[in-house]
Amino acid sequence: MPAPVSSPSEFAFELALCSHLEQTTDWLPARQLGAAVASPGSRIIDICAVVPGPAFTDRTRITDRDIPATAIESDVGVGRAVFWRDAFDCPPARARRATDRAVEVGFFESEHRRSREYVRRATRYPGDWFSRLVGIENKPDLGEPGDLLRQLRLDVSLALFDEVVLATESYVTGAHLNRIPDQVGVWRFDPETGEREVVRDAEPLTADATGVEPVEYHSLHTDVALVPPADKRTARLRLAERAYGKGWRGYDLPACTHAGVDADGRPVCEHFGRVVDPGSECGTECTAFEPADPPELDRAELREARTGWVADPTGITRRQSGLDRFW
């Protein structure tokens, strides 16, 4: 089930809500992340908000990018370096990618002995750096629900998130609430004023229990997969790390003379006087398009100023005295 393409209004709504959460909570919102386990890519959540935990500061010191879950769950420790391939219980190609990425972001330190690569962790991984994951599905207009109910039922049965919320601009009626799973919270959000009304609180989901994930839909039945708690822990870790590294300002800015950015870093068009979706509205198809260099935006500086995320930290290096004598 591929992710639907957002309309321009949905894109603007999504960015406005991310900006609102960034400024009114201590959460780290990120956009458009995979939220399935048994069938990767079949569920894309609009917003994943990471709620910081007690060791959040320790996580910010390591790297501003995402660390592969495969590397975090490997047998690579902070003591004696190990041959990279021996530390992973997964296919070599996947282990190789995780090792390279972990070294690149500074989580692993690498050294070569007799033409073989050995790795150790630069620091211990703070497993309690996040306390909750909140999944938010945006549907500004409830009059055009699309696959909304199917998506929300998947989120509830899989329980990859600790909470799931539906955010809308529409007036929410009792009939709407009756169709939405009881566990799903409902927000009414005005992207123009930034006002957010909690229509219904979200109920906690059992993120540490076996989940049920629909993997294929048929006319008379649905094929499902049981997702064990261990697989969900890995998926949650991957989701939290990807949200930490990606954030919500991952869009390209339009290369047009009318393009600009507002104080939140959202792409705006001076010609049309509103936030625009560069991926679907801008370019040679636009009647007002005039080629120019895209506007400047320091995404990292803006994110660091508004959240607890730290851009380009110094990193953590552990030096092992006398280690060379063991090789």
Q: What is the CA radius of gyration of the chain?
A: 22
Average pLDDT for 276-294:
92
- Decide if 5 contacts 280 (C-beta within 8 A): yes
Q: Is 313 inside any structural domain?
A: no
Both tokens of residue 10? 């949905």
In a domain, 252, yes or no: no
In one letter, which amino acid is 194? Answer: G
- Report if residue 62 sits inside a domain: no
d(Cα 126, Cα 123) in Å, to the nearest integer?
Answer: 9
pLDDT the model gives residue 266: 96
| Same domain flag for 18 and 164 | yes
What is the model's pLDDT at position 5? 44
Q: What is the pLDDT of residue 6?
A: 47
161 and 268 housed in the same domain? no
Q: What is the mean pLDDT of residues 206-216?
A: 93
Helix, strand, or coil (residue 325): helix
Write out the residue range of the structural domain in which residue 117 sits: 68-121
The whole-number pLDDT of residue 79 equals 85
Residue 311 lies in a domain: no
Look at residue 284 and tell me whether its pLDDT is greater than 70: yes
On whether both 137 and 266 belong to a single domain, the answer is no
Assigned domain for 325 exists: no
Residues 6+ apart with CB under 8 A from 247: 28, 29, 30, 299, 303, 309
Sheet order of strands, 82-83 included:
82-83, 116-121, 108-113
pLDDT value of residue 320: 42
What pLDDT, on the 0 to 100 scale, is given for residue 8? Answer: 52
Least reliable range by pLDDT among 67-71, 102-106, 190-194, 282-286: 282-286
Residues 88 and 169 both lie in one domain: no
pTM value is 0.90
Q: Residue 322 pLDDT more than 50?
A: no
What's the token pair of residue 227?
């997702």
* In 161-320, beta strands by DSSP E: 163-168, 185-189, 196-200, 211-217, 222-227, 259-261, 267-269, 274-275
Residues 6+ apart with CB under 8 A from 319: none
Q: What is the pLDDT of residue 317?
A: 55
